[in-house]
Amino acid sequence: MKERYGMEKENRHQILIWYMKQYRMTILLFFCFSGIFAFIFSLYELETEAVLYAAGLCTLLGVVVLSVHFFFYKKRHTDCTRMLADISLLIDELPVPKTLMEFDLQNMLYEMRKILEKNLTSWQAERSESMDYYTTWVHQIKTPISVMKMTLQGEDTDENRELSAELFRIEQYVEMVLSYLRLGSESSDYVIKEYELDGIIKQAIHKYAPQFICRKIRLNYSPCHTLVLTDEKWLLFMIEQILSNSIKYTQKGAVTITVTEDKILKISDTGIGIAAEDLPRIFEKGFTGYNGRSDKKSTGLGLYLCKKAAEHLSHNISAESAPGMGTAISIDLHTSKLTVN
Taking the C-alpha atoms of residue 42 and residue 298, their distance in angstroms, rounded to an integer, is: 88
pLDDT at 6: 45
First-to-last alpha carbon distance for the chain, in angstroms, is 33
**What's the chain's Rg over C-alpha atoms?**
34
pLDDT at 205: 94
**H helices within the chain, ranges in order?**
2-22, 24-43, 48-84, 87-90, 100-153, 158-184, 197-215, 232-248, 289-295, 302-312
- Name the residue among 269, 282, 191, 177 with its Cα closest to residue 234: 191
Q: For 157-171, b where at least 16 C-beta lie within 10 A, e where not — what string?
A: eeeeeeebeebbeeb
- What DSSP assignment string belongs to 206-266? HHHHHHHHHHT-EEEE-----EEEEEHHHHHHHHHHHHHHHHHT-SSSEEEEEE-TT-EEE
* Sequence-ordered list of residues with C-beta below 8 angstroms from that of 28, at least 6 positions apart, any chain: none
Q: Are 164 and 153 in contact (CB under 8 A)?
A: yes
Q: Which residues pair with 231 in a beta bridge?
A: 192
Q: Count CB neighbours of 71 within 10 A.
A: 10
Q: Are 94 and 83 in contact (CB under 8 A)?
A: yes
Q: For 3-17, b where at least 16 C-beta lie within 10 A, e where not — what string?
A: eeeeeeeeeeeeeee
Backbone angles phi and psi of 287, in degrees to 5: -80, 125
For residue 325, give the DSSP letter.
S
Distance, C-alpha 99 to centroid of its chain: 39
Distance, C-alpha 108 to centroid of its chain: 30
| Helix (H), strand (E) at residue 328 | strand 327-332
Q: Which residues pair with 267 in a beta bridge?
A: 257, 329
Tens of pLDDT, residue by residue, the chain (341 residues): 444 444 455 577 888 888 888 888 888 888 788 778 777 877 777 777 777 777 788 778 888 888 888 888 888 788 777 777 776 666 677 777 877 877 888 888 888 888 988 998 898 888 888 878 888 888 888 888 888 888 888 777 888 888 888 888 888 888 888 888 777 766 667 788 999 999 999 999 999 998 898 888 999 999 888 999 999 999 999 999 999 999 988 988 999 999 998 999 999 999 999 888 888 888 988 777 666 555 555 667 889 999 999 998 889 999 999 888 999 999 999 875 544 34
Q: Are 240 and 265 in contact (CB under 8 A)?
A: no
Taking the C-alpha atoms of residue 119 and residue 113, their distance in angstroms, rounded to an integer, is: 10
Distance, C-alpha 30 to centroid of its chain: 52
Q: Count CB neighbours of 240 within 10 A.
A: 22
